[in-house]
Amino acid sequence: MKRKRQRIFLAAGALLAAVALVVVWMNKNRSQMEKSEIIKIGVLIYKEDDTFVSGIVEEMKRQFKDYERENGSRIRLDFSYAEENQSIQNEQIDKYLSLDYDVLCVNLVDRTEAAIVIEKAKAADVPVVFFNREPVAEDLQQWDRLYYVGSDAKESGTLEGLLVADYYQKYPEQLDRNQDGVIQYVLLEGESRHQDSLIRTEYSIQTLVEEGFSLERLDGGIANWVRSQGEALTTQWLREYGSEIELIISNNDDMALGAIDAVENWHVKFSNIVGIDGTPEGLAAVEAGKMIGTIVAGQEEYARVILDLAERMARREALDGLAIREDKSIRVPMYSINSDGEIRRLEEEGNERN
Ligand code: BGC
């Protein structure tokens, strides 16, 4: 009798242990499944041939390949281009949502049209990482699964002004070529509806004024970030103002490269040109002494932050460690580099200018 009871106890114990083992195994398996679940990321770009944005896209593809090599196929990444048409982009968003994508990374065509995108994404409970083309502040506050990744336009404009100021410290006669104590300049602007155009223009000039420069704006115009348009405008100004021009300030590198094209076609020796972006061609022009300098908004870091944020949001993971500001943006750090290879960062100066 005693033996029989012992056997029953033993059998019950073994059964319990087996059940416990199965539960542990199932839990482990479930958490592994959750981790290895493939997430689908849709990336929507405003147009195909923007040099700076293409640099970010190339970086995303490169980092994605590295990631796959290390982690296996845990992410699917697809790109769509909107031919500068917000309706086309909206249709592309509908397509991704109908295909159950887990997160969207959106480089808006029209930054004032973010509300439509947000409405669609929210209805489908799909988070959005906007990048480079910044939605207006109120739109970003509409839902807690929206963020913006971009550089700080104020910081880039300030750094651009400082590039010129530093250059003057070293080579005053090369900048104030007619020695009248005033810098005569022309200004190439990006798209009028883009947040970076207005703010970069404002802060590059304001910084120069704060640094004690007297300035005279000879002319300025919108070249929509595009090299050929930058060249066309600069050619017009060279024809009109010739050697009166002492400085060409550009909102980005591509338009600055257009200015260089114009200067070279005009057969004049002139390199008082500043840009922003730090694209490979922009940096090469700086190194070759064809420009005073540029502001590098690291495309590698841009891509890293976008992908990291997108994956974490899709997997509903915590966002700690990401420098998210109160306005729900993450700002990619930038620095200036001049043709002497000198680098300047605002955060090292305690950000007192920001
Ligand atoms: C860049 C430009 C680019 C534009 C596109 C800006 O931040 O400086 O080069 O064309 O973004 O949205």
What pLDDT sits at residue 350?
63
197 touches ligand 1 (CB under 6 Å):
no
Check pocket membership of 140 for ligand 1, CB cut-off 6 A: no
Average pLDDT rounded to a whole number, residues 30-42: 69
What is the per-residue pLDDT for 353? Answer: 59
How far is ligand 1, taken at its centre, from the CA of residue 226, in Å? 10
Q: How far is CA 345 from CA 162, 201, 309, 335, in A?
A: 10, 19, 25, 5
Classify burial at 351, counting beta carbons within 10 Å of its beta carbon; exposed 0-12, middle 13-18, buried 19 or more. exposed
Under the banding of pLDDT at 50, 70 and 90, the label for residue 28 is: very low
How far apart are the CA of 3 and the centre of ligand 1, in A?
83
Grade residue 11 by pLDDT with cuts at 50, 70 and 90.
low
**Which of the two residues, 31 and 155, has the higher pLDDT score?**
155
Q: Are 45 and 82 in contact (CB under 8 A)?
A: yes
Separation of CA 54 and ligand 1 centre (Å): 10
> For residue range 156-199, what is the model confidence (pLDDT) as tens digits?
999 999 999 999 999 999 999 999 999 999 999 999 999 999 99
Question: Ligand 1 in contact with 277 (CB < 6 A)?
Answer: yes
Render pLDDT for 258-270 as a digit per residue (tens, 0 to 9).
Answer: 999 999 999 999 9
DSSP 294: E
Residue 73 binned pLDDT confidence (cut-offs 50, 70, 90)? confident
Write down the pLDDT at residue 33.
Answer: 39
Predicted pLDDT at 349: 78
CB-ligand 1 contact for 50 (6 Å cutoff): yes
Whether 133 shows a pLDDT value over 60: the answer reads yes
- Only one residue has tokens 């155009």, namely 197
DSSP one-letter string for 30-71: HHHHHHH--EEEEEEES-TT-HHHHHHHHHHHHHHHHHHHHH
